[in-house]
Amino acid sequence: MSGGHRHQPDGFPGQVSFLAGIDPRVKLAAAAAFLVVNLTAPTALAPAATAALMALLMLGSRTPYRRRLLMIAFPSTFAIFVIASQTVFHGGDVFATLGPFDLHRDGLFHGLFMSLRIIAGGLVIVVLGVSTPLNRLCLALKWFRAPATFVEVVLLTYRYIFDTRAQLLRMRDAQRARLGWSSARRGLGSSRMLGGSLFLEVYERGLRSAEAMRCRGAGPVVAGSLPRLGRIDKLALLAAAALAAAPALLSLSGAGL
């Protein structure tokens, strides 16, 4: 799996800002709180504030630019779709007509609100994902009493994603070097053989490495545990709780977040 580490989605948290050093349990709890606030906010202010905070944290995380764009591409695309569909379907005053579609003012505002929620929610997850290596996230899941089988399958799947990717690239390079494109029919026929070969190659390698790991005493359950929360972790937890509770407190006081 040469070069595999270079491509790991969470290959950079070790070299990033203070967020990477915060305990994953704190980050998981904070992310859950922000997601609930984002989903329950009656107006756009809380999602906007959440999006701004998460964007700042992401900028501070020193994640490569292309990676940031890639990660936010899906929520952004969907946000545009939601604005368009709500403007057409949601109803309200008609402010324009586009071909067979009436465009509604209320729908446009509702779409903008929902798209802000999608962007904010997406950014919360992105920040969690780029700042937490998966093994630490799994330790946090274990601490939160997630089923051991689930945690084990997450780690197994994660390991095989890189095995599959490495084998796929090797086979693609070999195909490029040896073969040219002949026809769609042949392409479909060879995809069956390539897909099957990829499957069996990775499976055989997996069997060998599982055997090797067993010989070295590796057990099936995720090893290790997280230390007690440090001072920085407790401060981060308090800050996240205060920030997440702010919209609820302000709306109770009539500020209407």
Contact 11, 97 (CB under 8 A): no
Tell me the closest approach of the beta carbon of residue 240 to other proteins, in angstroms.
16
SS3 assignment for the chain: CCCCHHHCCCCCHHHCCHHHHCCHHHHHHHHHHHHHHHHHCCCCHHHHHHHHHHHHHHHHCCCCHHHHHHHHHHHHHHHHHHHHHHHHHCCCCEEEEECCEEEEHHHHHHHHHHHHHHHHHHHHHHHHHHHCCHHHHHHHHHHCCCCHHHHHHHHHHHHHHHHHHHHHHHHHHHHHHHCCCCCHHHHHHHHHHHHHHHHHHHHHHHHHHHHHHHHCCCCCCCCCCCCCCCHHHHHHHHHHHHHHHHHHHHHHCCCCC
Nearer to other proteins, 45 or 72 (CB): 72
Tell me the closest approach of the beta carbon of residue 33 to other proteins, in angstroms.
12
Helical pair 231-252 and 45-60, crossing angle rounded to 10 deg? 160
Site for other proteins, residues 215 to 234, rule: CB under 8 A: 220
Tell me the closest approach of the beta carbon of residue 231 to other proteins, in angstroms.
27
Site for other proteins, residues 96 to 155, rule: CB under 8 A: 107, 110, 114, 117-122, 124-126, 128-129, 134, 137, 147, 149-150, 152-154
Nearer to other proteins, 210 or 249 (CB): 210
Q: Does 247 bind other proteins (CB under 8 A)?
A: no
Choices 169-177, 188-196, 225-233, 240-248; region in contact with other proteins by CB under 8 A: 188-196
Choices 175-183, 190-198, 228-236, 241-249; region in contact with other proteins by CB under 8 A: 190-198
Nearer to other proteins, 219 or 231 (CB): 219
Tell me the closest approach of the beta carbon of residue 41 to other proteins, in angstroms.
10
Site for other proteins, residues 33 to 52, rule: CB under 8 A: 35-36, 38-40, 47
Tell me the closest approach of the beta carbon of residue 38 to other proteins, in angstroms.
6
Site for other proteins, residues 62 to 91, rule: CB under 8 A: 70-72, 74-75, 77-78, 80-82, 84-86, 89-91
Nearer to other proteins, 75 or 237 (CB): 75
Site for other proteins, residues 11 to 30, rule: CB under 8 A: none
Which of 112, 163, 222, 251 binds other proteins (CB under 8 A)? It is 163
